[in-house]
């Protein structure tokens, strides 16, 4: 079996990070925001696309976080909310994907659930606590136990389409 791609370029050089990221960007993923409270009692959130279900019994969700993330210790020590976004929440997803620590938790977009920031209109949310964590390379893999969850109907959302991430672009996707 050849190591040459269909374009004739050898892509086994994993030191070429841009090409590696380009290759990974061909996989369609969903987008979620994870919110928590920091050690000073302030709300924060991040946008991720590394989210999937691992187990149904117990209910376990998996996601990853860069080791450099300033909120890593908060996720390791307390509950957080994982929220599946609808297609009208693209701007919020982009805002929370920025590395800046200042995020807008205004009353217009968020309510609280068990003192955690909950994005209004999300398609579903999962209240989680850390089940296990594993340091892997430059990221930490978090296995999260689902303590509570809710799925929202179309009447509660401005859109029933989910947000997707593909080729470094965010867009709405509908099963129809």
Residues 6+ apart with CB under 8 A from 154: 160
Q: pLDDT, tens digit, for every residue of 41-86?
A: 888 889 988 889 999 999 999 999 988 888 888 888 889 999 998 8
pLDDT at 6 over 60: no
Q: How is residue 143 written in tokens?
A: 């296995």
Query: Could you give the CA distance from residue 80 to residue 7 in angstroms, rounded to a whole number?
Result: 44
Query: Could you give the CA distance from residue 97 to residue 33 in angstroms, rounded to a whole number?
Result: 9
pLDDT at 175 over 70: no
| Percent above pLDDT 70 for the chain | 79
Q: Average per-residue pLDDT in the chain?
A: 81
pLDDT at 96 over 80: yes
pLDDT given for residue 30 in this prediction? 81
Query: Could you give the CA distance from residue 171 to residue 173 in angstroms, rounded to a whole number?
Result: 7
| Percent above pLDDT 90 for the chain | 30
pLDDT at 157 over 50: no
The answer to whether 28 and 165 have CB atoms below 8 angstroms apart is yes
Give one word for 128, left, alpha or beta, with left for phi > 0 and alpha for psi -120 to 50: beta
Residue 104, number of CB atoms within 10 A of its CB: 11
Q: What are residue 3's phi and psi, to 5 degrees?
A: -95, 10
What is the value of pTM for the model shown?
0.81
The answer to whether 117 and 105 have CB atoms below 8 angstroms apart is yes
At residue 154 the predicted structure's pLDDT band, cuts being 50, 70 and 90, is low
Q: What are residue 145's phi and psi, to 5 degrees?
A: -85, 130
């Amino acid at each position: 079996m050849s190591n040459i791609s269909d374009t004739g370029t050898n892509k086994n050089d994993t030191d070429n990070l841009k090409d590696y990221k380009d290759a990974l960007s061909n996989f369609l993923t969903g987008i979620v925001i994870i919110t928590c409270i920091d050690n000073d009692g302030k709300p924060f959130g991040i946008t991720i696309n590394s989210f999937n279900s691992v187990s149904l019994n117990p209910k376990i969700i998996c996601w990853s976080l860069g080791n450099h993330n300033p909120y890593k210790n908060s996720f390791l020590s307390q509950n957080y909310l994982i929220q599946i976004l609808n297609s009208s929440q693209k701007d919020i997803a982009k805002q929370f994907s920025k590395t800046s620590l200042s995020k807008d938790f205004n009353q217009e977009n968020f309510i609280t659930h068990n003192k955690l920031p909950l994005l209004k209109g999300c398609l579903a949310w999962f209240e989680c606590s850390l089940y296990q964590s594993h340091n892997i390379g430059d990221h930490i893999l978090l296995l999260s136990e689902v303590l509570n969850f809710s799925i929202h109907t179309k009447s509660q959302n401005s859109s029933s389409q989910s947000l997707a991430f593909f080729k470094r672009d965010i867009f709405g996707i509908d099963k129809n």
